[in-house]
Amino acid sequence: MANLLDQLKSMTTVVADSGDINSIKKYKPTDSTTNPSLIAAAAGMPEYQSIVDDVLQTAREKAGESASDEDVAAAAFKSLAVAFGRKILDIVPGRVSTEVDARLSYDTEATLAAARDIIAQYDAVGISRERILVKIASTWEGIKAAEILETEGIHCNLTLLFGLHQAIACAEAKVTLISPFVGRILDWYKHETGKDYVGADDPGVQSVTEIYHYYKKFGYKTVVMGASFRNIGEIIELAGCDLLTIAPKLLEELSTTEGTLVKKLDAAHSAADPIQKITIDKATFEKMHAENKMASDKLKEGIEGFSKALEELEQLLAKRLSELPKPTAA
């Protein structure tokens, strides 16, 4: 009998949720995603020190001798995610997602500039835009930035997505892909209610299921990539989703578990879903967001968490830079 991972790959595009290149090689996903926390973790691993050092040396050369280690590190982190992305693209046949600085999440213009810079770095080394997804937080400002970027041929992955209002706004903005966070939704409900949830009763599973059927029923081209899983039970319940991005630990569990995997999400069943179409403008988005305490709490927490991870990464880079030999004058 085939393992669950192989069966899942036959009905869903499997994506590795990791910056660990060795894990990506092992599980052979189609695509890969990263975020600030994952990049920070990978940057601290000895096996990737050469990648980090190369980025730091290049940033130091560009900044000049008068720049402080802190300034050089702040510039370097913008290139580090792209450096990992380039390595990942040597392994996966599909795409990599590279994230915009989370501290820009409420600034449309700054998000546009950062996204264009990411794409310019990939363009400079001859990597096709078709292989890159720029990750942007699903704030109203982030969604509006993504809407503009998509018209420029820059494909976007809208992340930190917790509510139907965010999903609809993304679809109407014609973004390429969304990443609803299954496990973080579960975390919130467990904390609020003190209950545990399994299988189809999992609120994160229910949220992604609702979004999936909404998109298919109303003919949106934006695809759904479930993310942030806490257990393989959530993955099993979302088999058939367009894409699922899965951490190495859960990929391992799926690859060593045998059984019959049933396709739970199927576009053929979406037309029968009773949900009604909702038109989202800024006022409606903000009203629905304010009324959805879970989405409000988790979006705020997620942006703060990724921002903190970036600050820690900058500190790690500054420390590493201080340990590298200074360039000698010509």
Considering its fold, how many domains does the chain have in total? Answer: 1
CA–CA gap between residue 324 and residue 14 (Å, rounded): 38
Q: What does pTM read for this prediction?
A: 0.93
Domain membership flag for residue 265? yes
Domain residues for the domain of 200 are 4-31+93-306
- Asked if the structure places residue 249 within a domain, the reply is yes
Has residue 261 been placed in a domain?
A: yes
- Annotation marks residue 298 as catalytic: no
In a domain, 322, yes or no: no
Task: Please state, in angstroms and rounded to a whole number, the distance separating the CA atoms of residues 163 and 204.
Answer: 10
What is the signed CA dihedral for 203, 205, 210, 214, rounded to 10 degrees? 150
Please report, for the domain that includes residue 231, its CATH number.
3.20.20.70
**DSSP conformational letter for 262:** P
Of 177, 175, 161, 181, the residue nearest 227 (C-alpha): 181
Residue 161 belongs to some domain of the structure: yes
Question: Which of the following is catalytic: 135, 216, 217, 298?
Answer: 135
Give the pLDDT confidence score for residue 70 in this predicted structure: 86
pLDDT of residue 63: 85
Residue 54 lies in a domain: no
What are the tens digits of pLDDT across the range 246-290?
999 999 999 999 999 999 999 999 999 999 999 999 999 999 999
In sequence order, which ranges of the chain are alpha helices (DSSP H)?
Answer: 4-9, 21-27, 36-43, 49-63, 69-89, 108-124, 140-151, 164-172, 182-193, 203-217, 232-237, 248-255, 282-291, 293-323
Within a domain: 82: no
> In this structure, which long-range contacts are made by residues 232-237, counting pairs with CB atoms below 8 Å and at least 24 apart in sequence?
232/4, 232/257, 233/198, 233/199, 233/202, 234/182, 234/183, 234/186, 234/202, 234/204, 234/205, 235/8, 236/4, 236/261, 236/264, 237/199, 237/200, 237/202, 237/205, 237/209, 237/264
> What is residue 330's predicted lDDT score, i.e. its pLDDT?
47
Q: What are the beta bridge partners of residue 224?
A: 178
Q: What parts of the chain have a pLDDT lower than 70?
A: 327-330
Q: Tell me whether residue 84 is in a domain.
A: no
